[in-house]
Amino acid sequence: MEEHFFDCPKCWETISMLFDPSLKNSQYFEDCEVCCQPLEIIYQRDAEGSVFIEVLQ
């Protein structure tokens, strides 16, 4: 698993989440570890292996 950091759009705290490196694209809901509100996470990996994470409210 690889860890990525980003800002929660609800509480603005920096949080980290673990992602399976074999994933290419996924979209799911996960609770913020600080404010416990559900966040919609969009995870994408391009052909070079760069990871792009978008968090929707």
Positions that interact with Zn ion (CB under 5 A): 8, 10-11, 32, 34-35
3-state secondary structure the chain: CEEEEEECCCCCCEEEEEECCCCCEEEEEEECCCCCCEEEEEEEECCCCCEEEEEEC
Closest distance to Zn ion from the beta carbon of 43 (Å): 17
Closest distance to Zn ion from the beta carbon of 27 (Å): 18
Closest distance to Zn ion from the beta carbon of 30 (Å): 11
**CB closer to Zn ion out of 18 and 47:** 18
